[in-house]
Amino acid sequence: MGERRTSWEELQEPAPEVESSPVVGVFDSGFGGLTVLKALVRQMPGAQFAFLGDTARLPYGSKSRRTIARYAAESAQFLVNQQGAEFLVIACNTASALALDAIQEAVDVPVLGVIEPGAAAAAASSSTRDVLVIATEATVASHAYAAACRAQGLRAVEKACPLLVPLVEEGWIEHPVTAEVVGIYLSEVLEEARAAEQSPDTLVLGCTHYPLLRKVFEMTVPDGMRIIDSAEATAEEAARLVSAQVSEARSGAPGFSQAPSIRCFATDSVEKFERLGSRFLGLPVGKVELVDLGG
């Protein structure tokens, strides 16, 4: 957690200047997006966070654009209209890839996805201008990363890795089977890059579950390949945008209060969220509130 460690007790206390702290809505199909929330708390320790996991309808990664857009728009409206979010972070690669437009149409606050910041971080990392992107089926099928990378002057080879989310959720984080599966997926995408005469030097983790497998990736990638986690890049960009928004809207206001507050909501499986969520947030997630979005 770097220099400043936020204890769970601090997070549970009401923020002292809560009225002037911005409410940042963070949305994911499940709880993988808690890796992004963790980075956001580090970047904006005084903000109020409302996190929604649409766990009744997860995973989005294997579903169609039309369905994902509907689910994501409903979830965004809950955070803005019912939780007062003044800024939305889409902490889900699949929803960012397929539904950012639908979300921006559904709500009237600034919305930031994880794809653009991830591609920008890849551009800052890559010397060869060739990168690999691993993600869910739906994210890869959308080619949103390839487009965002192209806009940064990069060539990207994308690869769907549908077994990695279930392996993380099974808790096989440093398991030999996981290492074997990662090895298979990486050798396939490297082979594809070779066939396309590309020389990738950077691997983008295009799914919020994948940072939990960082050690396995580090052991498996070729020497010298850098690993980009878009959570960090997204959190930095979000902090910049939120600060600008706050100082514009409330000139003279203190901006952030001293301690963050986090409220977590889920559309299902509150117990599972509470049990698994701490793996992703790096802190206990506390009491998760059940929400019915009617789906």
Residue 177 interacting with its own copies (CB under 8 A): yes
Using the contact rule CB under 8 A, the part of the chain among 96-104, 149-157, 166-174, 194-202 near its own copies is 166-174
Per-residue binder mask for its own copies (CB under 8 A), 143-162, x = binder: -------------------x
Q: Please say which residue, 181 or 259, places its beta carbon nearer to its own copies.
A: 181
149, 161, 207, 264: the catalytic one is: 207
> How many Å apart are CA 97 and CA 241, to the nearest integer?
20
184 binds its own copies (CB under 8 A): yes
Give the whole-angstrom CA distance, residue 110 versus residue 12: 27
The residue whose two tokens read 């802190």 is 283
Q: Tell me if residue 92 is catalytic.
A: yes
Residues 93-132: x where in contact with its own copies by CB under 8 A, - otherwise, as a string: ----------------------------------------
56 contacts its own copies (rule: CB under 8 A): yes
Give the dihedral sign, CA 159/31/59/265.
negative
How far is 210 from 286, CA to CA, in rounded Å?
Answer: 23
In angstroms, the CA 61 to CA 179 distance is 22
What is the spatial distance between Cα 275 and Cα 216, in angstroms, rounded to a whole number? 23
The helix or strand, by DSSP H or E, that contains position 71, with its residue range, turns out to be: helix 65-77
Which of 66, 194 has the CB closer to its own copies?
Answer: 66
Residue 179: exposed, middle, or buried by beta-carbon count in 10 A (0-12, 13-18, 19+)?
A: middle
13 vs 170, beta carbon nearer its own copies: 170
Note if 207 is an active site residue. yes
Q: Which residue has the tokens 């904006």?
A: 44
- Does position 55 interact with its own copies (CB under 8 A)? The reply is yes
Residue 273 CB, nearest distance to its own copies (Å)? 11
Residue 47 or residue 181: which is nearer to its own copies going by CB?
181
User: What's 226's DSSP letter?
Assistant: E
Scan residues 256-295 and list those touching its own copies (CB under 8 A): 267-269, 272, 294-295
Cβ atoms of 87 and 245 within 8 Å: the answer is yes
User: Which residue ranges make up the site for its own copies (CB under 8 A)?
Assistant: 55-58, 62-64, 66-67, 162-163, 165-167, 169-170, 172, 177, 180-181, 184, 267-269, 272, 294-295
Active-site annotation, residues: 92, 207
